[in-house]
Amino acid sequence: MKILTISDSFKGSMTSSEVGQTITDYYNALGHDAKYLPISDGGEGFLEVINYITKLNYQTILVKDANLRDTLASYIIDEEKGIAYLELAQSAGLTKIAKEDLRALFASTYGFGLLLKKVIKTHHPKKIVIGLGGSATSDMGAGMLEALGVEFIDKDGFAIQRVCNALLMKARKLRFHGFKRLIKGIEFVTLTDVLNPLLGSNGSIYVFAKQKGARDEELAMMERNLSHFKGLLNKKLKKDLPDFKGAGAAGGIAYTLKYLFNSKITSGIDEILQMINFEALIKESDVVFTGEGSFDEQSLNGKVISGIKKYNPKRMIIVCGKTSLNNFSSDVYPIVPSVATVDESMANPRDALLKLLKTIKL
């Protein structure tokens, strides 16, 4: 059989390539014709896909993580075409921070702003493609704006430092200074991994903030803070800037990128599948393996699996760490509790995945 693996990462345990290589090696050893492609929906692993497609090397600089600690962030620059590829998770990603240190209320995209500023000043790109997803932040990109020179002014006329969700309510107006000059003439494209709006019960706070360390009692306040900042942006630009599908990606930064950077907002997985000519690949494959760490309702809302399903593969097999969906039409094989416990799967993810593959009948 011709087998293609194109799986998202298993967050915290295996990268997209590690999942793909494990499945490919297993089925090639059984005599099948198996191969894999790294994939991302715009979140963690986005640069890996760009590296695979373009064969361009990574460049790395020192920035800040979501808790404002030093961290290294990579990016890819195509000097010939004048295109820079950035991944938010490289600076403000969940995987950069230990679970017990996640603090959604105080997390900042400041480090991503430093990355963006460095890339613009060093390479002067004509176009910047940003992959969103897997962020530890819920600040609507306020920290990013601060790093780019935007000032958040309080009621007494002083600039607020270290802007985060918790401090947004204190801001009374915005001062742009050289921000607009910095980004002038650059085309921005933003790849999102979800279709959630900025605000509301299906928005960035109520759906995603808890997995970033927010407590139940903080959610209403965090939602109110984003709504306040949305109002500030509307007032600054003297326009009604409506909420939209995908605006809630990466803690609402997609909203800010659309309206302040004039960025095109598009589905990450759809864009990347087109880049790798997935339509042709799917026709050649008898079986397509895909998956992610947790297969749930969010997986069907702009993630890798939802994008692949649109192409109607002959057979799609989903491998995952765990699942909360029992009525999905394709084959779904969770590691937990089928062949391992959570602790076992996290300690030895490759062994757990191999155990799972032995239970699958092609």
Structural domain includes residue 362: no
Could you tell me if 184 and 306 lie in one domain? no
Question: pLDDT tens digit string along 248-294?
Answer: 999 999 999 999 999 999 989 999 999 888 999 999 999 999 999 99
At 29 the pLDDT is 97
At 329 the pLDDT is 64
Q: Is the dihedral of CA 131, 92, 229, 248 positive or negative?
A: positive
What are residue 190's phi and psi, to 5 degrees?
A: -115, 125
Going by C-beta distance under 8 Å and a sequence separation of 6 or more, which residues neighbour residue 219? 205, 206, 209, 210
Return d(Cα 238, Cα 22) in angstroms, integer. 53
Closest by Cα among 132, 122, 144 to 68: 144
Could you tell me if 140 and 207 lie in one domain? yes
How many CB atoms sit inside 10 A of residue 219's CB?
17
Whole-prediction pTM: 0.89
At 205 the pLDDT is 98
Chain mean pLDDT for the chain: 94
Return d(Cα 144, Cα 153) in angstroms, integer. 16
Could you tell me if 185 and 312 lie in one domain? no
Return d(Cα 339, Cα 207) in angstroms, integer. 29
Could you tell me if 31 and 98 lie in one domain? no
Could you tell me if 286 and 249 lie in one domain? no
As for how many domains the chain has, the answer is 2
Structural domain includes residue 195: yes
Could you tell me if 342 and 281 lie in one domain? yes
Site of tokens 């530890």: 136
Encoding tokens for residue 320?
A: 């995952």
Structural domain includes residue 65: yes
Encoding tokens for residue 207?
A: 């759906």
Mean pLDDT of the region 195-211: 96
Could you tell me if 33 and 174 lie in one domain? no
Query: In the predicted model, is pLDDT for residue 298 greater than 90?
Result: no
At 328 the pLDDT is 66
Q: How confident is the model at residue 12 (pLDDT cuts 50, 70, 90)?
A: confident
Could you tell me if 207 and 103 lie in one domain? yes
**Listed range (9-13, 219-223, 252-256, 336-340) with the worst mean pLDDT:** 9-13
Could you tell me if 29 and 51 lie in one domain? no
Query: In the predicted model, is pLDDT for residue 135 greater than 80?
Result: yes
| Residue 109 near residue 72 (C-beta atoms within 8 A) | no
Last residue of one domain, picked from the residues 269, 297, 328 = 269
Counting Cα atoms < 13 Å in the Cβ hemisphere of 220 gives 1
Could you tell me if 172 and 76 lie in one domain? yes
Could you tell me if 121 and 193 lie in one domain? yes
Query: In the predicted model, is pLDDT for residue 232 greater than 80?
Result: yes
Q: How confident is the model at residue 59 (pLDDT cuts 50, 70, 90)?
A: very high
Last residue of one domain, picked from the residues 216, 237, 269 = 269
Q: Is the dihedral of CA 168, 71, 103, 197 positive or negative?
A: positive
CATH number reported for the structural domain that contains residue 347 in this entry:
3.40.50.10350
Query: In the predicted model, is pLDDT for residue 34 greater than 90?
Result: yes
Mean pLDDT of the region 43-51: 90
Last residue of one domain, picked from the residues 212, 244, 269 = 269
The residue segments making up the domain with residue 307 are 2-39+277-357
Question: pLDDT tens digit string along 80-95?
Answer: 999 999 999 999 999 8
Residue 355 is given by DSSP the state: H
Query: In the predicted model, is pLDDT for residue 118 greater than 90?
Result: yes
Could you tell me if 141 and 120 lie in one domain? yes
Counting Cα atoms < 13 Å in the Cβ hemisphere of 92 gives 36
CATH number reported for the structural domain that contains residue 231 in this entry:
3.90.1510.10
